[in-house]
Structure 1
């Protein structure tokens, strides 16, 4: 989802933002005093985000950690974001509407959010003491980027045919599962190659 400025006012308190969000029909993010309205994502964006949230939720069923989709906020001292998916293991939530202690955060990139996700959000998320992994998922191509605290936040990239291990929750997924039903050139080519190989074996 993309963020657009909502107010011309130079600064708004985080308390006022949180109170206003309870009465708002639209979602907004809070970035150091500024409020940004969230716009809807594409079908591919929703497919990827839902694939991740569903896989995480299924994997964590009956375990102490809990997965959330894009309706629960992450709050720091000066920022509030709606990640596309996340996992929380400390369930002493400071509010029923947000957490401040995710261990895994997932954002699906788009043209309108790329700069924010790769700069401001990356910096803010990685400053959260509990965070172990930050995941960035392309939607126009297939590219899974994972930055892990244990590796000094160095970027690791995974592509179709690869498997990805999410250390923070002990889950291994294929990139193909993350991009299931997604319609882009990379996925179409991958499916065509797989089908050609299957046809060859059956011939």
Structure 2
């Protein structure tokens, strides 16, 4: 890596992006700090796959693109995450590795990431003008916390819990059944 140009030896966004091109482990970037991503459990992977499959099917033939785990999201000028699932429906940008304008972000929470998903990421995601909903999916119980932007721009929150419930998704417009999210578990 080249000589960092930020104070205190922290890498710049450009240095992080160059490093990430050849890294064998994914890293998220927050304010100059680089955080390695831990491996996922089979349960986490299954939930992510189930959500991705439903959203991919629902988006077929429409303007939305669905990404899973390996596409970066530039949540702010100095913040880059790898959401578990992300949907973008606007014009596709020029950067083949980074999405800038998602309308939906889904994070599957684990014991090691839940506080980050609920605080740091939620604050960052809510500042993205194009974001219409953010879902935090629990691994250990059938529960999805849904945060969405109301018609007048204010953020709202609700939950879907247990058997038979579903989560409304704004883009692509669909209902994500809890039974499908947790299918096979």
**Alignment: residue pair count:** 174
- Contact between 1:94 and 1:100, CA under 8 Å: does it hold in 2? no
By how many angstroms is 1:154 displaced? Answer: 2.2
Give the aligned partner of residue 6 of structure 1.
none
Distance 2:103 2:84 in 1: 14
Unaligned stretches of 5+ in structure 2? 1-7
Matched, 1:37 2:36: yes
Give per-residue Cα distances to partners, 1:97-121, cap 9 Å, x unaligned: 0111000000000010011111110
Matches within 5 A, 1:1-203: 11-75=10-74, 76-150=76-150, 152-159=154-161, 160-182=163-185
Larger radius of gyration: 1
Give per-residue Cα distances to partners, 1:44-100, cap 9 Å, x unaligned: 101111101111111111111111100101012010000000101123324100111
Distance 1:164 1:24 in 2: 35
- Contact between 1:89 and 1:103, CA under 8 Å: does it hold in 2? yes
Distance 2:49 2:102 in 1: 18
By how many angstroms is 1:10 displaced? Answer: 5.4
- Contact between 2:26 and 2:36, CA under 8 Å: does it hold in 1? yes
Q: Please, what is the CA RMSD of the aligned residues?
A: 1.3
- Contact between 2:64 and 2:171, CA under 8 Å: does it hold in 1? no
Give the TM-score normalised by the residue count of structure 1: 0.82
Q: Which runs of 4+ in 1 moved over 6 A?
A: none
